[in-house]
Amino acid sequence: GIQVEQSPPDLILQEGANSTLRCNFSDSVNNLQWFHQNPWGQLINLFYIPSGTKQNGRLSATTVATERYSLLYISSSQTTDSGVYFCAVDLNFGNEKLTFGTGTRLTIIP
Amino acid sequence: GAVVSQHPSWVICKSGTSVKIECRSLDFQATTMFWYRQFPKQSLMLMATSNEGSKATYEQGVEKDKFLINHASLTLSTLTVTSAHPEDSSFYICSAVHILNTEAFFGQGTRLTVV
């Protein structure tokens, strides 16, 4: 099946720092989404980004589908950014099943 | 918009009993809903695909008789964990795919503890 790897697995940063999270996938995909899982387990949609670049406030994402990777940028980190970030992809078969990546655990220190 | 409500948020039950978890898309229709399971400090694993009006499709290794799924309408899917055992304790999350595009939205999750 499709493999979805995220790096780094863990990241500890000082408040105000910038970070780049990476998602590599092993096959062509129809869709890619980024999520933030908060400490209570809720998955919050960040980006729906099968290709191209999007920005939303301090966050932006870029997917290069032909090279099978996506990047999530977080600028001027805040403590509320702490949590686990997942990318998830669905294969190009139109069944909309999402395969989740391994996740990046981000900890922002005040 | 695009809100998915999952209930209950947490439940504790005795071994051998059954637990029902509801997943509702509040402001959009979803022909397809998905059920995931997440163990501590791990990623989400897909359990089954729930389609309105038809039988659910289970992933390999998931017991369909233990995890009963019903998708009664375009806005409601339920997961029933039957004859629960302590090893079924986990975090269960549903998602609904918007009928107009392929973006998935997730419920708040249900933390199940079987004692």
Selected residue with higher pLDDT from B2 and A102: A102
The shortest CB-CB distance from B102 to any of A30, A45, A99 is to: A30
Chain B hits for A101, CB-CB cut-off 8 Å, are 43
Q: Where are the beta strands (DSSP E) in A15-110?
A: 19-25, 29-37, 43-48, 52-56, 59-64, 69-74, 83-91, 99-100, 104-109
Looking at the complex, does the CB of residue A3 fall below 8 Å from at least one CB of chain B? no
Calculate what percentage of chain B has a pLDDT beyond 70: 99
Above 70 in pLDDT, residue B52? yes
The shortest CB-CB distance from A33 to any of B32, B43, B104 is to: B104
Query: What is the average per-residue pLDDT within B69-74?
Result: 88
Above 90 in pLDDT, residue B65? yes
Q: What is residue A41's DSSP assignment?
A: -
Above 80 in pLDDT, residue A36? yes
The shortest CB-CB distance from A98 to any of B2, B38, B104 is to: B104
Dihedral angle sign, alpha carbons of residues B41, A26, B35, A53:
positive
Looking at the complex, does the CB of residue A86 fall below 8 Å from at least one CB of chain B? yes
Q: Which of B62, B38, B59, B49 is nearest to B111 (CA)?
A: B38
By the 8 A CB rule, do B34 and A97 touch?
A: yes
Residue A34 CB partners (closer than 8 Å, separation 6+): A23, A45, A46, A47, A49, A61, A70, A72, A85, A86, A87, A88
Q: Report d(CA A95, CA A89) in Å as an integer.
A: 11
Residue-wise pLDDT for A51-85, tens only, equals 999 999 999 999 999 999 999 999 999 999 999 99
Q: Which of residues 24-83 of A touch B (CB under 8 A)?
A: 30-31, 33, 35, 40-43, 45, 48
- Work out the angle at residue A41's Cα, subtended by the Cα atoms of residues A36 and A46, and round it to the nearest 5 degrees: 20
Name the minimum distance, in Å, from the CA of A68 to any CA of chain B: 19
Dihedral angle sign, alpha carbons of residues B64, B42, A32, B106:
positive
Average pLDDT for chain B: 93
